[in-house]
Amino acid sequence: MLFNSVEFFFFLATVLFVYHTGPAVLKRPLLLAASYVFYMSWNPAYGLLLFAVTLLSYAVGRGMESVRRHARILLWAGIGAHLAVMFIFKYYSFFSENVNWTLGRLSLGWDAPAVEILLPIGISFYVFQSLSYMVDVYRRQVGAERNLWLYMLYISFFPQLVAGPIERASNLLPQLRKDHSFDKEGLRSGLVLIATGLFKKMVLAENLSILVSAAFFRPETRGGLGLYLGALMARYMIYCDIAGYTDIALGCGRAFGIRLSKNFDRPFAARNISEYWQRWHMTLSGWFRDYVFYSLAAGPLARFGVPVLVFVTFLLLGLWHGASWNFVIWGCVNGGMVVVYQSTRGWREKFQVPAALRTAFTFLALVGLPTVFVVTKDVGQSLFAFKKIFGVFSQAGDWWDIGWLFEGRNAVYLLSSAVFIGGMEIAQKLNEKEPVLETIGRWPAGRRRLAYAVLGLVAVAAVGLIFFRQTNTAFVYFQF
């Protein structure tokens, strides 16, 4: 049941109607049942795994609070069990392939058993949310939740279950305990967020995905400039996809009276790579900071210094994104760039570089180029693309060849994306001071009607583009 599907909106409308018209005592049971129905709509067996992970962390939390002297043992047992679930479902195939490759090179005559395991949607998100709860209980930052049904809802709340935001118990559990009455403003702002998320996903991300596929499906047929532009478009495509999902999740949460955590803060306005990671997927970055980096800093690796801790954290962040060497390398590259940035702070302060140039360099080079590892199928294809981008395999004329971007429907997707992205960036900048719709609402009647007419035309153009394109794909992070 995709967020960008008709089925989901029938589901959402039904749950919202019953939630706000039914008795208060049924609100939480309704949300819990709806969350499991939502998750099991992909595969009923997923519900069993979700329940098992939930029950495990609930039991560990209660146990740590009841028997403090054994809290550390219980915590590590819980962490080990959660990581084992992640390993089996997400990383075993990657592990076995590499073990078999190594054993084959050594001619040892033994292979790790190959098992095809279907990756449950969203497993990385709810396992991380469960892990953070156990660690927070151990650190006494939250108390162990005694109500199993409420805790099940905390882990499974359907707007953020399969692709975040990754919530902390300190934020979500207190909200779930409250009885939320119907809030007209909450519903209105939620619907605006849902519409914004659908626009990012169904217009921008889908448009850009076609152009990115055209660039990297057969990279040997593209010039270096075309592949470079493809990498930049891929990064913006991923942003629109994930941020679009997040906006829909936040909007659904508000419609139920729940305020989920902000996940993006105009990441491409960052003036350096460190700031970028503070603005990009903030609940995930914050999770790795609080539960990986700080944990490493309290362990034996601390003696190697902060740069090593940062690098290892980003390596693991890359591996979280996908079980492949491409993601491992992507994580290491980002970790290396953050380490270099932090290590050269004193030297850099001697130079006064305009903020606009720093922002441009961050996106065009530090953020955009490593995206090649994300959109290529293996390391060999990544290296081939980089060689073309940097001109090793390209003749002077071929490197500049981007004619395919302006052929047929590609031209429509490119032009419309450029216009819509420009408008969205301006709107997001204005939203930092005050929501654009609230600003428009205070304008004189004539000017206000004109603004609404322009927004209406944009909506019509966006819907027309969706029908023109006739594609509707799953969100990128559903695979994680």
Positions annotated as catalytic residues are: 321
CA 406, CA 390: separation in Å to the nearest integer? Answer: 23
Spatial contact of 265 and 147, defined as CB atoms under 8 Å apart? no
344: helix, strand or coil: coil
Structure tokens at 12: 């959402």
CA 387, CA 375: separation in Å to the nearest integer? Answer: 15
Alpha-carbon distances, residue 479 vs 286, 469, 476 (angstroms): 21, 23, 6
Structure tokens at 386: 């980089």
Structure tokens at 356: 């606009």
CA 138, CA 159: separation in Å to the nearest integer? Answer: 27
CA 398, CA 225: separation in Å to the nearest integer? Answer: 9
Residues 6+ apart with CB under 8 A from 104: 111
Closest by Cα among 191, 159, 182, 181 to 437: 191
User: Residue 147: how many CB atoms within 10 A of its CB?
Assistant: 14
Spatial contact of 120 and 43, defined as CB atoms under 8 Å apart? yes
Structure tokens at 11: 């589901």
Angle (nearest 5°) at CA 98 between 477 and 120: 30
Spatial contact of 247 and 200, defined as CB atoms under 8 Å apart? yes
Spatial contact of 273 and 337, defined as CB atoms under 8 Å apart? yes
Closest by Cα among 276, 244, 264 to 360: 276
Residues 6+ apart with CB under 8 A from 209: 237, 241, 471, 473
108: helix, strand or coil: coil
DSSP letter assigned to residue 267? G
User: Residue 21: how many CB atoms within 10 A of its CB?
Assistant: 8
CA 380, CA 196: separation in Å to the nearest integer? Answer: 37
Spatial contact of 385 and 372, defined as CB atoms under 8 Å apart? yes
Spatial contact of 478 and 163, defined as CB atoms under 8 Å apart? yes
CA 126, CA 81: separation in Å to the nearest integer? Answer: 14
Spatial contact of 183 and 189, defined as CB atoms under 8 Å apart? no
